[in-house]
Amino acid sequence: MRQSRLLFTLVGVMVAGLLAGPTSWAAPGQDYNRQTVPTNTPTPTATPLPGTILGYHTVQPGETLFCIGRAYGVDPYAIATQNVIINPNLIYPGQVLAIPYAPAALPPGQVCSPQFGVATPVPPSCRWYHTVVWGENLYRIGLRYGVSYWVIAQVNNITNVHYIRTGWVLCIP
């Protein structure tokens, strides 16, 4: 009986302390239950500001937000935010995307063809030509020639880097 009364009293004190809010040990003007943000520091926003649209891109089959982002040097998540795309992995051919001004350095990978504002790049000349034989993949071909398999895919307009066919002749830049 004595133990239950003690426990009940301790719980009551704890609940009363939580309901009362900050106690006297908090510094004046400071609430330990809240995170303070300085008022003079601008808060970063993921959404681009209105009026900063570079242009519009129509999604082609095989394109991804990262591929489109690399084409314009723009953060793919900013594209998703600007266009209210809930799942960045789901975009559809024919979908028109507003491309915001949100510069980003992206990891190497597939680059889509830009549809506006960027001069059409001159395709690189082929240093070698490689005929695909059974069992090869772009990764191994890239290692053989010292060229990224993404670059080989881009130059040869291959949208799926996991699918190449025996007999294809690839341009190796």
Is the pTM of the predicted complex or chain greater than 0.75? no
| Average pLDDT in the chain | 75
Given this model, what pLDDT does residue 3 score?
54
For the four alpha carbons of 74, 85, 94 and 137, in that order, the dihedral sign comes to positive
> Residues 19-46: pLDDT tens digits?
444 444 444 554 445 444 444 444 444 4
DSSP per residue, 98-165: EEE--B----S---PPP-SSSPPPPPPPPSEEEE--TT--HHHHHHHHT--HHHHHHHTT-S-TT---
Domains of the chain are 45-116 (3.10.350.10), 128-172 (3.10.350.10)
Measured CA to CA, the distance from residue 173 to residue 170 in angstroms comes to: 10
End-to-end CA distance of the chain: 85
> Residues 60-96: pLDDT tens digits?
999 999 999 988 888 898 899 899 999 988 999 999 9
